[in-house]
Amino acid sequence: MKSLRITRTLVLLLLSAVAFGQSDAQKSFDNLKALAGEWEGAVSADPPQPEVPAGTRARITMRITSRGNALVHEMQAPGKPLDPTKYDHPVTMIYLNNDQLNLVHYCDAGNRPHMVARSSADGKKVEFDFVDLSGGNEYGHMYHAVFTFIDANHHVEDWTFLMPGDKPMHAHMDLERAKD
- Record the pTM: 0.85
pLDDT at position 21 is 46
Q: Are 54 and 42 in contact (CB under 8 A)?
A: no
> Domains of the chain, with CATH numbers?
2-177 (2.40.128.20)
- For residues 60 and 157, give the distance between their C-alpha atoms in angstroms, rounded to a whole number: 10
pLDDT at position 11 is 39
130-161 per-position pLDDT tens digit: 999 999 999 999 999 999 999 999 999 999 99
% of the chain exceeding 70 in pLDDT: 84
Which has more pLDDT, 171 or 16? 171
In sequence order, the 6+-apart residues with CB closer than 8 A to the CB of 156 are: 146, 147, 148, 150, 172, 173, 174, 175
Mean pLDDT of 114-121: 92
Instruction: Return the closest-CA partner of residue 87 out of 78, 95, 96.
Output: 78
